[in-house]
């Protein structure tokens, strides 16, 4: 009896290629289980699980878990699903520095428009955008832009601390000074998310959707 062929390891290039195929297929799929569902979180969970199962059928990789906090830790990618009507989602708050230096992992974002067919009692998720965001681009747009401009204008640690306070970064004075000293010697990359302060970060993707394909590190898949 012939042994089953081993699955290839999942990589970022294969993830991107499969996300394109998955998005095309999902855009023509009618799903009875989603008919009448208005909870965006439930829709997101459905699509995340479906895409993860789709990948697991084809590739070898470790699934995510709550301790690691991301969906595909083997390639450092988290899956985000959001409605085109309000493209945003939440993620765990680990450190205020995430607004400056990024979340620490890559994102693959599925932006859908949900429509229901009352006659067939099915729902369809049309994928308007599928975007891969490299981890270096997951900082907050205004925060990183402001800090980069301060450095380019020969600003000092006091300027940076004042800026962090003006932007209400959730840190105490000691950490603000530590961040300022670090920023002076480690200029942050320009981020493209909008990250709102909360117990969980609130990520908004409007700028990512507009800039995908035009900026290095923001790859438009579909």
| Residue 123: per-residue pLDDT | 97
| Residue 198: per-residue pLDDT | 77
Sheet holding 200-204, edge to edge: 88-92, 200-204, 194-196
Contact 125, 113 (CB under 8 A): yes
| Residue 6: per-residue pLDDT | 82
Cα gap 99→95, rounded to integer Å? 8
- Give a yes or no: residue 21 inside a domain: yes
Number of domains in the chain: 1
Q: Report how many helices (DSSP H) and strands (DSSP E) the chain contains, helices first.
A: 7, 10
- Give a yes or no: residue 19 inside a domain: yes
Residue 156 has what DSSP assignment? -
Containing structural domain, residue 20: 8-92+104-137+199-220
- Give a yes or no: residue 191 inside a domain: no
> Exposure of 202 by Cβ count < 10 A (0-12 exposed, 13-18 middle, 19+ buried)?
middle
Which secondary structure element, helix H or strand E, spans residue 172, and what is its range? none
| Residue 20: per-residue pLDDT | 98
| Residue 3: per-residue pLDDT | 43
| Residue 67: per-residue pLDDT | 57
Name residues of the chain where pLDDT drops below 70: 1-5, 64-68, 199
Q: Which residues pair with 59 in a beta bridge?
A: 8
- Give a yes or no: residue 72 inside a domain: yes
- Give a yes or no: residue 159 inside a domain: no
Cα gap 107→19, rounded to integer Å? 12
**DSSP labels for 107-155?**
EEEEEEEEEEETTTTEEEEEEEEEEEE-GGG-SBHHHHHHHHHHHHTT-
- Give a yes or no: residue 186 inside a domain: no
- Give a yes or no: residue 80 inside a domain: yes
- Give a yes or no: residue 68 inside a domain: yes
**Residue 99: strand, helix, or coil:** helix
| Residue 1: per-residue pLDDT | 45
């Amino acid at each position: 009896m012939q042994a089953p062929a081993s699955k290839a390891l999942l990589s970022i290039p294969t993830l991107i290629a499969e996300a394109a195929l998955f998005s095309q297929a999902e855009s023509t799929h009618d799903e009875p289980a989603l008919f009448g569902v208005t909870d965006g979180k439930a829709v997101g969970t459905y699509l995340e699980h479906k895409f993860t199962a789709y990948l697991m059928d084809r590739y070898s990789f470790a699934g995510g878990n709550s301790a690691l906090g991301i969906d595909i830790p083997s390639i450092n990618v988290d899956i985000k699903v959001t409605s085109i009507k309000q493209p945003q989602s939440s993620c765990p708050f680990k450190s205020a520095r995430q607004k400056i230096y990024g979340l620490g992992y890559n994102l693959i974002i599925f932006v859908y428009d949900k429509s229901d067919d009352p006659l067939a009692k099915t729902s369809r998720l049309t994928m308007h955008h599928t975007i891969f965001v490299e981890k270096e681009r997951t900082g907050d747009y205004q925060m990183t832009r402001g800090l980069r401009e301060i450095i380019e204008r020969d600003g000092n640690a006091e300027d940076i601390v004042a800026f962090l306070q003006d932007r209400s970064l959730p840190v105490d004075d000691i950490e603000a000074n530590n961040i300022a000293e670090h920023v002076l010697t480690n200029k942050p990359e320009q981020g493209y998310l909008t990250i709102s302060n909360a117990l969980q970060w609130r990520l908004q993707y409007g700028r990512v959707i507009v800039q995908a394909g035009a900026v290095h590190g923001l790859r438009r898949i579909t």
